[in-house]
Amino acid sequence: MTKAIAFAQYGDPEVLHPIDVEVPEPGPGQVRIAVRAVGVNPLDRRLRSGELAERFAVDLPFVPGCEVAGTVTAVGEGVTGFAPGDEVFGGTMSGGYAEHVLLAADSVGHKPASLGWEEAAALPTAAETAERVLTELGVRAGETLLVHGAAGGVGTLLLQFARARGITVVGTASEANHDHLRELGAIPVTYGEGLADRVRAAAPGGAVHRAVDASGRGDEIPVSIELTGSADRVVTIANTAAHEHGVRFNGGNGERYHRQAYAAALALHEAGALSLPLHRVLPLAEAAQAHRISEQGHLRGKIVLTV
């Protein structure tokens, strides 16, 4: 048996409790890893609270966690390129809040020795999302991209990927995070009333070509449409009600971009240009506290649990 953190009913963070589970055996195309660190994402708490129960039902008890870093302990049939003892990171649909987890081999990347466990666990979801959004939104070098929630886990990598491609980024964030965004090469603006005017004043030539909502604040969607001139030029990864404005919700239900995303992130890391700020690092046993912190918002980077 092995340990995991799960919820057996929907509710507040206190429904998260340790449970014993069988050590999983990898099937074809899977690898099993001994988890060293796991990223905490908004999806985890939205599943736990029951907010997504009607659209995304889960079997209870449910072990959350969709990005991990650890050591390979077994590989399934047909897996090549990975072997027991390899240090890796990767994404999974669930099960990350555990001592052992299964991952699809095509969502796993080798962890460089120079990349810490906590930073590696903070990378998979944000990197894949950033790569997917930039690709599917069609933003190009020389254009200006508006990113809402730019100081969060996804926003931080999104703006770094964009800057590496010659894209100018204007990012919304609280005043306390403005210096952080400037260090990453973005132009910071404060959200709230008068946002459209502040963005026009900050953007080169006053033009915004594309926008990504990573914050979920409903008032930012209409402003993004106004600034870009079309709902087709706006994507959200955080507001499931954005379709009411004709804006696409991109939750990653189609093609995945793990390989391209990991390559882009590790290229930045090797160049000494990758920033993966950690808002808070806690032991797995304090998963409930991690969810409380996540619910407060205004994060700079990711919350990570260590095993």
Rg (CA), the chain: 19
pLDDT at position 227 over 60 = yes
Domain match, 119 and 138 both: no
Q: Does residue 130 form part of some domain? A: yes
Helix intervals (H) in 34-152: 42-49, 117-121, 124-137
pLDDT score recorded for residue 218: 73
Instruction: Give the residue-averaged pLDDT of 89-118.
Output: 96
**What's the pLDDT at 240?**
80
Segment holding 161, helix H or strand E: helix 153-164
Asked whether the beta carbons of 100 and 23 are under 8 A apart, the reply is yes
Provide the 10 A C-beta neighbour count for residue 73: 15
Kindly state whether residues 17 and 114 are assigned to the same domain. yes
- How far is Cα 125 from Cα 129, in angstroms, rounded to an integer? 6
pLDDT at 62 (0 to 100): 98
A 10 A CB-CB count for 2 gives 15
Tell me the residue range of the domain where 39 lies.
Answer: 2-123+276-306
pLDDT band at 219 (very low <50, low <70, confident <90, very high): confident
Is residue 271 domain-resident? no
Q: What is the mean pLDDT of the chain?
A: 94
**Domain-located, residue 281:** yes
Residue 260 falls within a domain, yes or no? Answer: no
Q: Would you state the pLDDT for residue 264?
A: 96
d(CA 98, CA 65): 8
Using CA atoms of 179, 185, 186, 187 in order, give the dihedral in degrees to the nearest 10.
70
Residue 256: inside a domain = no
**DSSP element (H, E) containing 231:** none
pLDDT band at 299 (very low <50, low <70, confident <90, very high): confident
Evaluate the omega torsion of the peptide bond into residue 61 and state whether it is cis, within 30 degrees of 0. Answer: yes
139 and 108 in one domain? no
Do 6 and 83 fall within a single domain?
yes
CATH number for the domain harbouring residue 227? 3.40.50.720
Q: Provide the β-strand partners of residue 304.
A: 39, 281
Position 123 scores a pLDDT of: 96
Q: Say what percent of the chain tops pLDDT 90.
A: 84
Q: What pTM was computed for the model?
A: 0.90
Q: What percent of the chain has pLDDT over 70?
A: 99
140 shares its domain with 232: yes
Residue 263 lies in a domain: no
* CA 104 – CA 28 distance, rounded (Å): 9
- Amino acid 44: pLDDT: 95
Could you tell me if 160 and 207 lie in one domain? Answer: yes
The C-alpha atoms of residue 241 and residue 252 are separated, in whole angstroms, by 16
On whether both 134 and 241 belong to a single domain, the answer is yes
* 135 and 112 both lie in a single domain: no
Question: 243-270, pLDDT tens digit by residue?
Answer: 899 999 887 665 689 999 999 999 999 9
pLDDT, residue 223, reads 95
Asked whether residue 17 carries a pLDDT value surpassing 80, the answer given is yes
CA gap 276, 265 in Å, rounded: 10
Determine, yes or no, domain membership for 269.
Answer: no
Q: Are residues 27 and 72 in the same domain?
A: yes
Of the three residues 233, 249, 265, the one that is the final residue of a domain is: 249
Q: Token pair of 250, please?
A: 């991109």
pLDDT of residue 254: 56
pLDDT value for 255: 63
Number of structural domains found in the chain:
2
Neighbouring C-alpha atoms within 13 Å toward the C-beta of 79: 24
| pLDDT tens digits for range 127-164 | 999 999 999 999 999 999 999 999 988 999 999 999 99
pLDDT at position 298, please?
Answer: 73
